[in-house]
Amino acid sequence: MTATTVGFVGLGAMGQGMAGSLLRAGHAVRVWNRSPGPVAALAARGAEPAGSLAEVFAADTVVSMLADDAAVERLLLDPGLLAGATATLHVNMATVSVALAERAEALHAEHGVGYLAAPVLGRPPVAAAGRLNVLAAGAPELLARAEPLFAAMGERTWHFGDRPRQANAAKISANFLLACAIESMAEACTLAEGHGVRPGDLIGMLTATLFPGPVHTGYGAMIAERRYEPAGFRLPLGLKDVGLALEAGAAQHVPLPFGGILRDAFLDALAHGDGDKDWSAVAEVARRRAGLSD
């Protein structure tokens, strides 16, 4: 085991692309996942399969990209795992709660393992291309050590402070704003459609004038065309992130009035069977409210 080995945990749609970017940049990568398929796919590209999480934490640095707080807590916040680790740095790149970031930082410190939070902006194709935006926070010396990994996976790293939770707060805030943008576009398209205006025409005008950029262009087209599959970011994950925003707001007495509206809209979408669709499928809730849904 060399000092340059990177252990990678969590090979979902995002993690596969991120681990692949590390391989492409020349890093030695040891991979672990709960299901074997992605491990085999990356092994064919030169990754080393790990038989256990202990083997991953025998690498010099560990990068993880798990789905949520529960997965991180269950798999990685194990005192026994951390006590036996020879890894001296864990970079958690998942979107998790501020509270979990604080617990993780403290537990890692108890066992002499550095901890960084570095959630990302970008969908799976962006991850596969190594063009993510990395939102990072933690001790400056650890950030400097992780920078070559960030450079392999992303096109820019944004620093938000010396406490890992600050990166998670920034990512939660960004995802909350995305959810608000999706809901506002859905309501605007429904209003226009109610008066006989084609949603595609409205979105075309808006993205060419008031709201250029990938969020309104990409999600606007999906909403106007009612094109929610394949899912780039599944609707239950959107509900999770809205919940993280509400939780983080409550912790600092920051009211988020739109948050409650968004939470109920996502719950409505899930109740109507849209759980496997992209989170932009929450637009169907606005259409149902207006009596426009099929």
Cβ neighbours for 134, distance < 8 A, ≥ 6 positions apart: 93, 118, 119, 120, 150, 153, 154, 156, 157, 158
The set of long-range contacts for 121-127, using a CB threshold of 8 Å and a minimum separation of 24, is 121/171, 121/174, 122/154, 123/232, 123/233, 124/13, 124/14, 124/16, 124/17, 124/232, 125/17, 126/17, 127/13, 127/14, 127/15, 127/16, 127/17, 127/18, 127/21, 127/153
- Residue 166: other Cβ atoms inside 10 A: 19
- Strand pairing partners for 68? none
- Using alpha carbons, select from 136, 138, 164 the residue that is nearest to residue 150: 136
Q: Which amino acid is at 226?
A: R
Distance in angstroms (rounded) separating the CA atoms of residues 32 and 44: 14
**Of 30, 90, 165, 171, catalytic:** 171
Per the annotation, the verdict on 277 as an active-site residue is no
Task: Enumerate the active-site residues.
Answer: 171
